[in-house]
Amino acid sequence: MSTTGTLDLGDLATGPSQQWGNIRLVPLLRPEPVPGLRLHDQVNESPVTVAGSGRRSVYVGYVPHAYVATWGDDPEPSAAHGTQLLDADARAPRERVRLAFQHRRVQRLGRNRSRFLPLHLAVDGLLSLGFGGPPIAWAEWADKTVRDGLSPREETVYRGEHVSDLQEALRVFEIHPDQCGVVVHVADALAAVHVVPHPEDYRVLHPTLLLDMFGEQLFVYGLLHFTVRALHEPIDPGSVRDLADLRRAVEASRAASATGHDELMLPSLTGADHAFEWLYERSGFTLGRFLPSFRGDRDNHIGEVITAADGRVAYLKTLRLSNAQVRRGRLLRALEEADWSLEGAARALGTDRSGLITRIERAGLAHLLNRALLERHRAARARRVGRYTP
Amino acid sequence: MTDTYADLLACEDLLLFAGAAMSSSGQREFHSSAGRQRLSLGFLHDYVRETLPDLYAATLALHVNDHNAALIIANLLARPRPDAPAHERARENALIRRRLALMPPQRVYRLFGRLAARRVNNRRTRATMRAWIGDRPDLALDALKYRRGLRAAARHARVRLPEEVEHFLFSPPASRRRLPYASALLRAHAAAHHSARALYALPYTVAEGFAAHHGIPRDRFLENIRERATHAERLRLTATADRHGLASTLDLGTAPLLRLCVYVLGLPLSERRARRAELEEALDRSARRAAGPMAGTWPPTAVVLDDSYSSFGSPVRRNHPLAIALACHHLVAALSPEASSHWVSGHRDALTVRPVGPTHLAESILEALERRPERVLVVSDGHDDHPELLSETLTAWRTRIDPDRSTTMLHLNPVFDADGLSMRPLSPAVATLGLRDPATLPSLVGLARFGEGRLGLADLRAYLDATVTAYLEAA
């Protein structure tokens, strides 16, 4: 089932931001944890205990996308492909990626540490989850594209630890007792939002933000050498006559700062329309993925979301696409909507067939096309505008 | 005030240096690495030594920590001022000797070793080493416990040692053991090579090596060596002793306050709750002893204590800022009959405090102010989540609510901010001072007056003069 709509963070309250260098981390707080959903036992270092009941099946476990672990009786480590909902006593996620090539390194890391896939794999995974490849074997596409869909694809992404001050910012970040999520801003551009159902889950997953993926644009922003300031609403000394006044002014300033963040910085994610694809439902929790509108004039985030029965966001993980990725995504979406017919997609994008092929080529997707077609196109273009096109 | 702008700057510089020298120990902190701490600290030392040469030595009389005292002394010895007036040089010498006498011997031997490695061998250095070694109560013990240090110092400064000690330090092993020593310690050391019974006469650190050599079980060794272990060693070994089922004979209340707080914070929460009565009594007793004659003399005081996650410090100084906060809680309770403590996390029970959560100092400070105390102390590393708001709040309080200063506020910072090259302040309206040992709290409050900008360099010089005189006369 797919729907289009905006993302609503619901009962998550914005806390006071903490900043280090050019990274701003804004905590998201929940008055009450979402009941019934917890990090799966295999991920959690200490098994979840549910108060009042000794039975473990009273909650649903989730496994974050790209989470690497040694599951059940499978001796090889593998990664969850897409976030998954499991019964608490299930042994392993259904969809996994084998990591035979990583075998030795993973073993050395030790069994109980949180760790994730190399990120290019994870991004590929997310994009290929969104686009399956042509359903009709048009002659223009390479055999491999028709057979295997878009994978394997390559995306350039950077691990969190390479994004300037992020490592230090995460280390010195002071986690709130009721914190269930965080918004990461790199040079005040919204980079990622991460929400979990329970504060204990957040504590487990907080360091894994370092292994998260960031597009090349954010890596460049990370190189900008400036210090972000706290979001601040000044208090007016003239209005202060006694301590009660001052206390009210401090409260008002804090509230105004939080509202400022929600109204100015969060709409990068919450203000845009997303196409949601709802995958499946388990015990009231629905797992979905969303893709952005791929418009060039706004920020584009992809991600995965789990909503509770009452519509609250229980789990959320987003990734901001860089401009090049947005261009690729826009092409792929147009192609998909035209059932991978080049003429149809070219009409939708307001160009002609050869213009579309040039765009596909420049977006780094040439390998999807039939080789003979590509050669013909290049020869024709060379005849028309010369070999060295601007 | 007749001070020029330069004088005011000098006054500020010196206070900044004093604060850094009180709190930084050149180790890793929560927000900065050991390398950065040392780099910044080294710069401050050089800067003050060059710009205020006459006052540099005088800071030894303030409560600078041992790490910085050793640095100051090394600088004074390595770069003497031959053109300084004779009375200043004499005073410097007296300060160096007095401070060395108060420092733990292992630190002094490390300092001497470093001077020897740097080949600092002027007359002043040799005389200092000779005088200090000559004042040691038991050189045979030093020869055992600080063998390498004493050897290096004696060789570097050509110090005449008692004949036996000299023989022990400078002869090859065979002849060293053969000599029939008059000193019981040295005799025991020679015997301990072949007799397990003799090692219990040796100091703990020396005996430990022999115990391993003879393969003595840990519990038997700990039980028998207990008499010879120092107080700090016994405190450190309580957990091991418990594990081996040995009854602890240690009286916790006799430990220094800060060390006791570090010990308490090292215990798991369940154990702290189980031993609540014992620990609280020990903390109170230690705090009363630290307060000394000042106990109960302070006006109503409120302390705001930072127990946010950053008060964890670093793995090398585990829980150190939090331990200082805990110590201040107990010390102020002993100093002032009407004291109140306000933990930043909203925690009420001091014994079970943990370093978790964010830093929202503004609310806690307002809560403290609502009790209308005469004095407010804020113990925090100054890394608030929202520095602008905190600064504005304090400024508004000072200018609008309490302009006639009926309440004094002082920020005590246990952490030196290496990147900012200062103690991270809360607000221009509140003076910030470094703090290492809470036992020095009463005298720090005296120094804080200079940070508010109402007293100038001349007053500071007079204050330092008086402090130095008192410091030297206390010998």
ipTM at complex level:
0.84
Contact B386 A229 (CB under 8 A): no
State whether A234 and B392 contact (CB < 8 Å): yes
User: Which of B203, B234, B250 is at the close of a domain?
Assistant: B250
Q: How confident is the model at residue B300 (pLDDT cuts 50, 70, 90)?
A: very high
In a domain, B444, yes or no: yes
Note the pLDDT of residue A135: 65
The residues pairing with A195 across neighbouring beta strands, listed in sequence order, are A181, A316
Between B448 and B367, where is the model more confident?
B367
Do residues B296 and B243 both lie within one domain?
no
Q: Which of A138-142, A151-155, B292-296 has the highest mean pLDDT?
A: B292-296
pLDDT given at position A173: 92
Domain assignment of residue B244, yes or no = yes
Bridge partners (DSSP) listed for residue A192 = A184
Q: Is B163 on the interface with A (CB under 8 A)?
A: no
Q: Cβ–Cβ of A16/B385 closer than 8 Å?
A: yes
**pLDDT exceeds 70 at position A43:** no
User: What pLDDT is recorded for position A281?
Assistant: 82
What pLDDT does B452 receive?
Answer: 65
In what side-by-side order are the strands of the sheet with A96-98?
A68-69, A78-80, A96-98
Contacts of B396 in chain A (CB under 8 A): 235, 237, 240, 246, 249
Lowest mean pLDDT of A47-51, B109-113, B130-134, B222-226, name the range.
A47-51
From chain B, the residues in CB contact with A202 under 8 A are: none
- Is the pLDDT at A153 greater than 70? The verdict is no
Reply yes or no on whether the pLDDT at A56 is more than 70.
no
B357 touches chain A (CB under 8 A): yes
- pLDDT above 70 as % of chain A: 72
Shared domain check, B444 and B369: yes
Q: How confident is the model at residue B3 (pLDDT cuts 50, 70, 90)?
A: low
| In a shared domain, residues B412 and B353 | yes
Residue B452 sits in the same domain as residue B306: yes
Predicted confidence at residue A210, as pLDDT, reads 75
Spatial CA neighbour of B176 closest among B135, B144, B131, B199: B144
**Which pLDDT value is given to residue B253?**
86
* Mean pLDDT along residues B276-303: 92
Residue of A179, A250, A257 to mutate when probing chain B, most B C-beta within 10 A: A250
Torsion of Cα atoms, A9 then A10 then A12 then A18, to 10°? 40
| B91 inside domain | no
B357: exposed, middle or buried (Cβ count in 10 Å: 0-12, 13-18, 19+): buried
| Residues of chain B positioned with their CB less than 8 A from the CB of A23 | none
pLDDT at A101: 40
CB A123 within 8 A of CB A63: no
- Share of residues in chain B with pLDDT > 90 (%): 68
Q: Please answer yes or no on whether A235 and B389 come within 8 Å at the CB atom.
A: yes
What is the CATH classification number for the domain harbouring B269?
3.40.50
- Structural domain including B236 reads 194-250
pLDDT-derived band of residue B58, with 50, 70 and 90 as boundaries?
very high
A interface test, pick of B385, B402, B426 with most A CB neighbours within 10 Å: B385
Q: Do B369 and A235 touch (CB under 8 A)?
A: no
Which chain B residues have a beta carbon less than 8 Å from that of A172?
A: 30-31, 310, 383
Restricting to B residues 29-68, those with a Cβ less than 8 Å away from any Cβ of A are 30-31
Question: Which of A8-12, A174-178, A377-381, B407-411 is predicted with the least confidence, judged by mean pLDDT?
Answer: A8-12
Average pLDDT over residues B216-235: 89
Rounded to the nearest integer, the mean pLDDT of chain A is 76
B78 membership: H or E segment, kind and range: helix B66-78
Q: What is the DSSP letter of B292?
A: G
Is the pLDDT reported for residue B473 higher than 80?
Answer: yes
Task: Name the residue with higher pLDDT: A214 or A376.
Answer: A376
The answer on B346 and B387 residing in a single domain is yes
pLDDT in tens, A233-280: 899 888 889 999 999 999 999 999 999 999 988 888 888 888 888 877
Contact A235 B310 (CB under 8 A): no
Which of A18, A203, A246 would you mutate first to test chain B, the one with the most B CBs within 10 A?
A: A246
- Please report whether residue B140 resides in a domain: no
Would you tell me which residues 307-336 of chain B have a C-beta closer than 8 angstroms to some C-beta of chain A? 308-310
Tell me the chain A residues in contact with residue B310 when contact means C-beta distances shorter than 8 Å: 172, 174
> What pLDDT score does B377 carry?
93
Whether B288 is in a domain gets the answer yes
pLDDT at B156: 96
Residue A316, SS3 per DSSP = strand
Per-residue model confidence (pLDDT) at position B449: 73
Taking contacts as CB-CB distances below 8 angstroms, the residues of chain B near A257 are 386, 389
Q: Is B144 inside any structural domain?
A: no
Angle made by CA atoms B455, B461, B465, in degrees to the nearest 5:
130
Q: Which residue has the higher pLDDT, A68 or A86?
A: A86
Separation of CA A318 from chain center: 3
Same structural domain for residues B310 and B333? Answer: yes
Of B308, B309, B362, the CB nearest to A250: B362
B303 with B425, same domain: the answer is yes
From chain B, the residues in CB contact with A235 under 8 A are: 389, 392-393, 396
H or E stretch covering A60: strand A60-63
Separation in Å, CA B409 to CA B376, B402, B457: 5, 11, 22
The model's pLDDT over B367-421, given as tens digits with 9 standing for 90+, comes to 999 999 999 999 999 999 899 999 999 999 999 999 988 899 999 999 999 888 8
Rounded CA-CA distance B124/B116 in Å is 13
Residue B321 and residue B433 share a domain: yes
pTM for this predicted structure:
0.86
SS3 B14: helix
For residue B366, is it within any domain? yes
> Given an 8 Å threshold on Cβ–Cβ distance, is B399 in contact with A177?
no
Mean pLDDT of B238-257: 84
- The top-scoring range by mean pLDDT among A54-58, A236-240, A342-346, B263-267 is B263-267
* pLDDT at residue number B249: 73
Per the domain annotation, does B328 fall within a domain? yes
* A16:B30 CB<8 A: no
pLDDT tens track for B333-363? 999 989 999 999 999 999 999 999 999 999 9
Least confident of A86-100, A224-238, B222-236: A86-100
Least confident of A112-121, B33-42, B222-231: A112-121
Domain count along chain B: 2
Taking the CA of residue A172 and the nearest CA in chain B, the distance in Å comes to: 7
A253 with B363: Cβ contact below 8 A: no
Q: Answer yes or no: is pLDDT of B422 > 90.
A: no
Ranges A57-71, A128-142, B32-46, most confident: B32-46
A194 has pLDDT over 80: yes
pLDDT of residue A103: 35
Judging contacts by C-beta atoms under 8 Å, the chain A residues touching residue B30 are 172
On average, the pLDDT of chain B sits at 91
Shared domain check, B345 and B229: no
Q: Is the pLDDT of residue A94 over 70?
A: no
Predicted confidence band at A98 (pLDDT cuts at 50, 70, 90)?
Answer: low
Share of residues in chain B with pLDDT > 70 (%):
99
Between residues B176 and B44, the one the model is more confident about: B44
- In angstroms, the CA B339 to CA B373 distance is 8
Q: Could you tell me the CA-to-CA distances from B156 to B115, B119, B144, B149 in Å, in that order? A: 9, 8, 19, 10
B218 lies in the same domain as B299: no
Residue A2: Cβ within 10 Å count: 11
Q: Are residues B281 and B422 in the same domain?
A: yes
> What residue type is assigned to position B413 of the chain?
N
Cβ contacts from A onto B, under 8 A: 81
The per-residue pLDDT for A299 is 87
pLDDT computed for residue A53 by the predictor: 38
Task: Give contacts of B 136-155 with A, CB under 8 A.
Answer: none
Residue B115: predicted pLDDT: 96
Using pLDDT thresholds of 50, 70 and 90, give the confidence band for residue A363: confident
B352 with B213, same domain? no
Which pLDDT belongs to residue B5? Answer: 78
